[in-house]
Structure 1
Amino acid sequence: MKTSNPLYTFSTYSSGLLRSDLPAGLSVFLVALPLCLGIALASGAPLFSGLVAGIVGGIVVGFLSGSEMSVSGPAAGLAVIVADAITNVGAYEVFLVGVVLAGAIQLGLGLLKAGKLSSFFPDSVIKGMLVAIGIVIVLKQIPHALGRDNDYEGEFAFQQLADGENTLSEIYRAVETASMGALIISAVSLALLIGWERLAGRGWRFFKTLPGALMVVFVGIGLNQLFRLYMPEWYMGDTAHQHMVQIPVVAADKPWWSIFTFPDFSALSNPRIWAVGATIAIVASLETLLNLEAADQLDEQRRVSSTDQELIAQGVGNMVSGLVGGLPVTSVVVRTSANVFSGAKTRVSTIVHGVLLAIAVFAAGSLLNYIPLSCLAAILIMVGYKLAKPKIFKSVYNDGLNQFIPFILTVLGIIFTDLLIGITIGAVIGVMFILYTNSQSTVKVIRQGKRIEIKILKDLYFLSKPQLKVILRTLQPGDQVIVDGTDAQFIDHDIYNMLRDYTDTAKAQGISYELKNVIKTKSALPKVEPVKEVLIN
């Protein structure tokens, strides 16, 4: 059972920073770095805009967030929307006005307590989303692990816009064109991560304190430089090569603030920009609320995040991001998962990752460009595997088909379409199963010879109509039937009419038929007694 958020003090956050959150923040930073750049590329926006959004998501949203585990930044699910919006409004500066408006709308939604909408998504769909994203991460990172980097980091849709391939065909192409250097770096990195985690699990302080992701980066850089010296055909390239991290470096002759792009507020008179803002607000809020549910499931302490506070944080974050030239931000499962699996305890890790992104932009870009994407692929593959372990499938299957079918359809939907479409498919199927299951346990038939009681156990909705029809058709001449609706607070209009109209049928067939407390005027909403305030002295 989930518990409410514990009360954190300054000392709690400080100890978390020193023991767990600093290494976790570093690991999340390494994962987020190529994703911020890749999503900016996919969005048709300046590369710096992805990094700016990552910094804002880490620092601003991190401070204000309603969750201790959630990590925010630019989201792959918004890439197509952003790309279309930039094209439609004509300039990136104009698009930024839409990001600011989206933030204002999200802020309003948070103040209006709209966060409760996330509770309407079935648990099986949230589990399916986590597993599907884990599988997609693994599938999408295999090409990068093999040295094929035609598709940008952060592309999670099945159909790839970057090179016209899809997830499966891209893997096939990667196997055909595999680079021995990338294969060695990714294989060594995976082995190092697995071994590092096992030794940390045995209590070795060195391996628990120092993040394995950082060692993977050092090993990846070292191996690539050794290839340059001794095996040039395996060398992945220099800092400007597509197989490497490519952080734009601020020109020496330009001020540091030159990386920022500012919105053109003269576009407020353009109706299109208001539509862009509303669209981003709705999609970003939905993705954030779903990811927050996922973050709570991943959190070992089972804390309950404040969805309303998160919408406020996202709103402020998007307003700030839009004002300084960043992409829209949402809570993101990939970074949140990396955060949890890296041992984070509090939001300090999220803030640390944002600070490190800022340092990367302003001070260390040229150094970080020596990191091969293949070693970062190994880190992400480990995150993906932890999200989609085989035991999760078995656990959900043991919960019954009414849980497993929405779960597996969500998984397949996300893998073969994209995140939002897959979640929609799973949610629709999940709700149908809930309604169907409820409809199967609403009526109980008690038979004692010719005396038959049809007892309505709870509220009757339209899905129960077929079941009641079947029961009524089994009645025989001479039966004495009572339909008892005492326990139902609500009876669907069509069902009420059907039960009432059966009176004539029963009379014609020689059936004694009585309706007991089957009342049309019963409300679908139960009466709620006012809460009395109790003062404790």
Structure 2
Amino acid sequence: MNNLFGSNLKYDLKASLVVFLVALPLCLGIAVASGAPPMSGLIAGIVGGIVIGSLSGSNVSVSGPAAGLTVIVLDSINSMGSLPLFLGTLVVAGLIQVGLGIAKAGVIGYYFPHSVIKGMLTAIGLILILKQIPHALGYDVDLMGDQAFLQADDHNTFSEIYYAFKYSSFGAIPIVLIALGILIAFEKPKLKHHKIFGAVPGALWAVISGIVINSLYGIWKPEWQLGGEHLVSIPVLGNLGEIGDLLTFPDFSMIGESTFWVVALTIAIIGSLETLLSIDAADKLDPLKRISPPSKELFAQGVGNTVSGLIGGLPITAVIVRSSANIASGARTKMSAIFHGVLLMILVLSIPNILNMIPLSCLAAVLFVVGYKLAKPAIFVNIYRNGWDQFIPFIVTVVAILFTDLLVGIGIGMVFGLFFVMKTNFVRAVTLTEMNGNYLLKLQKDVSFLNKALLMKQLEKIPAGSKVIINAQKAQFIDHDIQEVLNDFIASCSDKKISITIEGFNYKLHEKV
């Protein structure tokens, strides 16, 4: 505990400020895109930070409302007929996740190929960059939390960029450029570790600059001043007594209907998969390479979703955008995630008028930097150097996520990833090496009937008069079809003057020398 509040405190506090600035517009945008009140997104962000952050076993992941569930939530609210009825399904979905955590179902997370996870991270980085270009240019028709390729207005990610250049707001451009300049400057150690300036993260300086510049527009260049949809928009309370009016409570009156359980199971399963993917990805980004317990994470997410549903919040998952911002900002422990939830709760209630002065264009600059760190050109080069069996699933995952959505893209990437895993294991199951006319045939791992053609091809390479060792010390299982191929080969060896030595078999081959 001393370690949490000792040497790590300054790092976690600075990181939590950055995550707060990233989470604020995403929580609002995802809520509106989901057909829910903006406060539902903020509630989910607060619960994700404080409740899940406290229970999670992850040191660096951050939870909140997930863009990947936006369409599902929108359709579910419509199919259930009201937000309170949907919240009832969310409470049950959370309890299902608690059960999955207790049942240790999180081990599923260990079976995602590395190349697919890297592809997911890179794709999200590219999506962040592409999606922020319109906001950087002051074209704020779409919400900041929307990560889908196709939009409700039949536009897509690339057509939105075209319209952004066509209908840009001139006042946004200086704001985003200055904010980017500040963020890049704060990447330099001299400024990042400065006693005065370094005490506050660069993202906060960037946001302050955006507020100041937009305020100065009102004095010197009123036609450039940004307002309305170009600014953060948080509900403003007249007094603290109105907090209860912002909460929505669940309705369980449809719990006996099949629709209720279909929605609850859908949210529980898809939310759990997105969580497992995100914490695996966050662990790969963690500079200390700590491993998060996946089943404990499912339990924490289940508790969080239950609480969120009880007070009017959206479904919550571990989310890679906030997690990567957290890691890139130097977070050391899960206190950063908890602090960001506390900041959301306190600042949204206490200073909404100030937060509503933040231009979306300066927040776009913050997300540009987060996106670049996830999708650096060096990442493509490094994966390419690892070979085609890594690069192809990686690039397929990147492209699939860019042109569909997170879960569909991951599914496509998994198909390619598993194909190359199976192909690699298939080839390595049977190996033949030669030295000075002596041959070593090794059967490794499990050798099934699928390897029959490969084995026969390798045996055909052995010329007459050779000496052959057939070694099966590493083979835990050898299919009957493989045994028959070996027996036929051994039976033919006397005619070819081939000498056979057999090692490591748990049964008797028809050895003939």
Q: Shared fold by TM > 0.5?
A: yes
SS at match of 1:487: strand
Are 1:30 and 2:21 an aligned pair? yes
1:304-325: CA deviations, max 9, x gaps? 1121211111010000001111
Task: Report matched runs for 1:348-427 at 5 Å.
Answer: 348-427=335-414
* Pairwise CA distance, 1:199: 5.0
Contact 2:192 2:198 in 1 (8 A): no
- Shift in Å, 1:52: 0.6
SS of the residue aligned with 2:431? strand
Residue 153 of structure 2 corresponds to residue 153 of structure 1:
no
**Using a 3 Å threshold, how does the CA distance of structure 1 residues 200 and 155 change in structure 2: closer, same or farther?**
farther
Does the Cα contact within 8 Å between 2:33 and 2:146 map onto a contact in 1? Answer: yes
Amino acid at match of 2:314: L
**Aligned partners of 1:213 and 1:59: how far apart in 2?**
22
The residue matched to 1:250 in structure 2 has which SS? coil
Q: Deviations over 1:366-423 (max 9, x none)?
A: 2211111001000010111111111122222222222222112211121121111221
The one-letter code of the counterpart of 1:487 is K
**Other-structure match for 1:531:** none
Q: Does structure 2 retain, via aligned residues, the 8 Å contact 1:124–1:406?
A: yes
Q: Which residue of 2 aligns with 1:283?
A: 270
Deviation at 1:489, TM superposition (A): 0.9
* Equivalent position SS for 2:64: strand
Q: What SS does structure 1 have at the residue aligned with 2:414?
A: helix
When residues 484 and 96 of structure 1 are mapped into structure 2, their CA distance, relative to the original with a 3 A threshold, is: same
Is contact 2:185–2:191 with CA below 8 Å preserved after alignment? no
Could you tell me which residue of structure 1 aligns to residue 39 of structure 2?
48
Q: Structure 1: which 5+ residue stretches go unaligned?
A: 1-8, 522-537
> Partners in 1 of 2:33 and 2:283 — Cα distance?
29
Q: CA deviation at 1:461?
A: 3.6
**Pair 1:201–1:93, CA change in 2 (3 A):** same
SS at match of 1:455: strand
Alignment RMSD (CA, Å): 2.7
Q: Equivalents in 1 of 2:480, 2:307: separation in Å?
A: 50
Calculate the TM-score normalised by the size of structure 2: 0.91
1:121 equivalent to 2:112? Answer yes
SS at match of 1:331: strand
Cα distance, 1:146–1:108 mapped onto 2, change above 3 Å: same
Distance 1:167 1:138 in 2: 11
Specify the alignment match of 1:524 in structure 2. Answer: none
1:262 shift after superposition: 0.6
Residue 258 of structure 2: aligned partner: 271
2:465–2:499 contact (8 Å) kept in structure 1: no
Q: Give how far 1:484 is off.
A: 4.8
Report if aligned partners of 1:131, 1:411 keep a CA contact under 8 Å in 2. yes
Aligned to 1:139: 130
Whether the 8 Å contact between 2:137 and 2:168 is mirrored in structure 1 is: yes
Report which stretch shifted further, 89-98 or 204-213.
204-213
* Deviation digits for residues 23-44 of structure 1 (CA, Å, limit 9, x no counterpart): 2111111110110011111111
Deviation at 1:149, TM superposition (A): 0.9
The whole-number CA distance in structure 1 between the counterparts of 2:439 and 2:297 is 54
Contact 1:439-1:461 at 8 Å conserved across structures:
no
Q: Which moved more, 1:46-55 or 1:297-306?
A: 297-306
1:189-227 deviation per Cα after TM superposition (whole angstroms, max 9, x unaligned): 101111123155663122321111111111111111111
Q: Is the 8 A contact 2:49 2:62 kept in 1?
A: yes
Equivalent in 427, 432, 451 of residue 445 of structure 1: 432
Residue 201 of structure 2 is matched in structure 1 by 211
1:317-362 C-alpha deviation (Å, 9 max, x unpaired) = 0000011111010000010111111121111111111111112332
Identify the residue that residue 430 of structure 1 maps to in structure 2. Answer: 417
Who is 2:328 aligned against? Answer: 341
Question: Given the superposition, is the C-alpha separation of residues 466 and 42 from structure 1 closer, same or farther in structure 2, using an over 3 Å criterion?
Answer: farther
What one-letter code is carried by the residue in structure 1 that aligns with 2:131?
K
Cα separation, 2, equivalents of 1:344 and 1:448 = 54
2:55 and 2:240 mapped to 1: Cα distance?
A: 36
Partner of 2:237: 250
**Deviations 1:457-511, CA, capped at 9 Å, x for gaps:** 332145433312323455678888775545311124554565567789x599989
Q: After TM superposition, give the deviation of residue 122 of structure 1 in Å.
A: 1.4
Deviation at 1:56, TM superposition (A): 0.3
Say which SS state the counterpart of residue 33 (structure 1) adopts.
helix
Instruction: Tell me the number of residue pairs that the alignment of Structure 1 and Structure 2 aligns.
Output: 507
Q: 2:185 aligns with which of 195, 203, 227?
A: 195
Question: Secondary structure of 1:266's partner?
Answer: coil
In the other structure, the counterpart of 1:229 is 219
CA contact (8 A) 1:17 1:349 kept: no
Q: Deviations over 1:136-176 (max 9, x none)?
A: 10110011000111111111111122x32111111111111
Distance in 2, Cα, partners of 1:93 & 1:502: 71
Q: Give yes or no for contact 1:16–1:348 (8 Å, CA) kept in 2.
A: no
Query: Cα–Cα, structure 1 residues 252 and 464, in superposed 2: closer, same or farther, change >3 Å?
Result: same
Specify the code of the residue in structure 1 equivalent to 2:146.
E
- CA 1:282–1:202 in structure 2 vs 1: closer, same or farther (change >3 Å)? closer
Structure 1: which amino acid aligns with 2:79?
N
Deviations 1:217-275 (A, max 9, x none): 111111111112211221112xxx11110112235596311111111122211121111
- Is 1:320 the counterpart of 2:307 in the alignment? yes
Aligned partners of 1:275, 1:450: CA distance in 2, in Å? 65
**Shift in CA distance, 480/416, structure 1 to aligned 2, threshold 3 Å:** same
1:197 aligned counterpart, secondary structure: coil
TM-score, normalised to structure 1, is 0.88
CA distance in 1 between counterparts of 2:240 and 2:16 reads 32
Provide closer, same or farther for how the CA distance between residues 248 and 493 of structure 1 changes in structure 2, counting only shifts above 3 A.
farther
CA distance, structure 1, for counterparts of residue 493 and residue 379 of structure 2 = 56
Q: Give distance in 2, aligned partners of 1:258 and 1:232.
A: 36
Q: Report the identity percentage.
A: 51
SS of the residue aligned with 2:317?
strand
Give the equivalent residue in structure 1 for 2:49. 58
Please give the secondary structure, in 1, of the residue aligned with 2:84: helix
Aligned to 2:121, which of 117, 122, 130? 130
